[in-house]
Structure 1
Amino acid sequence: MNKIPRRIITGIQNGKSTIIEDQQVENAVEHLKGLIISDIWNTQQMPASLDWEQRIPNTGFPQTPKNGTYFRYVSIPPDKDLGVEFKAGEPHPMMHQTPTLDYIIILSGELYLIMEEGETLLKPGDIVIQRGTNHVWSNRSDEPCIQLAVLIDAAEAENSKIETLKD
């Protein structure tokens, strides 16, 4: 399995800032062939507590705590390696929705973000603000795509149409 970056956690000891943990992430899981996910950190409340960490199970689809957050590392293999077939004009079998506000950063590789209407190619450095809508990731390249995602528990939109705030 691919190695993912180190997890470094800071804290306070004897009244001074210090590094509490510095090691390889231990909970990387291969949910489907080549789909590697590691749930790095979570918070269980807002405002977030700086005092403790509650280890969370590593799941294919995130289970963001109510009033909490989820920070995950995802390596998405090429579609052809996943064995998922997508036929034009039909819903993608991996289409999903989470009740969260997600901040996603593409670190390496490329990936298509597919919506119910439309899609866009994402490349390293691109940032996605995913606002609780149906979506799927499609890697049509020959290399894995690595993304970091922070998911924040969110209230449902008041209307069925999510709009952009305008000045």
Structure 2
Amino acid sequence: MRTIPRRVVIGLRDGKSIIEEDAIVTNVSEHFPGLIISDIWSTDSSPARFEEKVIENTAFPNTPKNGSYFRYVQIPPDKDLGIEVPKGQPHPLMHQTDTLDYIIILSGEIYLIVDTEETLLQAGDIVIQRGTNHAWSNRSDFPCIQLAVLLDANKD
């Protein structure tokens, strides 16, 4: 699997479907060595409008009100990031989001860590993350690749 994804965008011209874009994604950032993030597409309304485009990558996205992110993430092994978690201490990348996230593990494996426990995820596993504290810990020797759709959500 390639590190940087290819994006194909379909549109309409004269009432016929066309391929508007077919290219390797250029909207890519590396916030930590080997941690590749690409926000593939974003919307700022629901229902979405077809003219939505890609916005700037951030390590922790600020999903637009009533909008969404479609995100590609490659997470390197913790050891490659220099992450060591002392026993009984929270993972240093623990964070909370204000979004409803649908996450699919495409390749590799990774531990999903929450406040009280953790679980090992492997290719094909799906996570529904609902605005909670969480972190990702890759304890393997290979990168983990995930796709995520983040939706603006109300915590009420």
Identity of aligned residues (%): 67
Distance 2:54 2:123 in 1: 29
Deviations 1:57-83 (A, max 9, x none): 111111111110001000000000011
Whole-angstrom CA distance in 2 between matches of 1:92 and 1:111: 13
Distance, in Å, in 2 between the alignment partners of 1:128 and 1:88 is: 25
How far off is 1:4 after superposition?
1.8
1:6 is matched with which residue? Answer: 6
Q: Which moved more, 1:53-62 or 1:103-112?
A: 53-62
Q: Structure 1 or 2: larger strand share?
A: 2
What RMSD in Å do the two structures reach over aligned CA positions?
Answer: 1.0
Counterparts of 1:59 and 1:82, CA distance in 2: 18
Number of residue equivalences: 155
Offset at residue 92 of structure 1 (A): 1.3
Aligned to 1:128: 127
Q: Is contact 2:105–2:125 with CA below 8 Å preserved after alignment? A: yes
Q: Please give the secondary structure, in 2, of the residue aligned with 1:111.
A: strand
For residue 105 of structure 2, what is the aligned residue in structure 1? 106
Unpaired segments ≥5 residues, structure 2 = none
Equivalent-residue separation in structure 2 for 1:123 and 1:32 (angstroms) = 22
1:90 Cα offset (Å): 1.1
Partner residue, 1:64: 63
1:22 and 2:6 aligned: no
Deviation, structure 1 residue 127: 0.2
2: CA distance between counterparts of 1:12 and 1:139? 41
With the length of structure 2 as denominator, give the TM-score of the two structures.
0.96
Which residue is 2:85 aligned to? 86
Match of 1:163 in 2: none
Separation (CA, whole Å) in 1 of partners of 2:124 and 2:75: 16
User: Unaligned stretches of 5+ in structure 1?
Assistant: 159-167
What's the offset of the Cα at 1:3?
Answer: 3.4
Partner in structure 2 of residue 162 of structure 1: none
Deviations 1:121-146 (A, max 9, x none): 00000000000000000000000000
Separation in 2, partners of 1:54, 1:150: 15
Q: Note the C-alpha offset of 1:40.
A: 0.4
Higher Rg: 1
Cα distance, 1:154 vs. partner? 0.2
SS at match of 2:96: coil
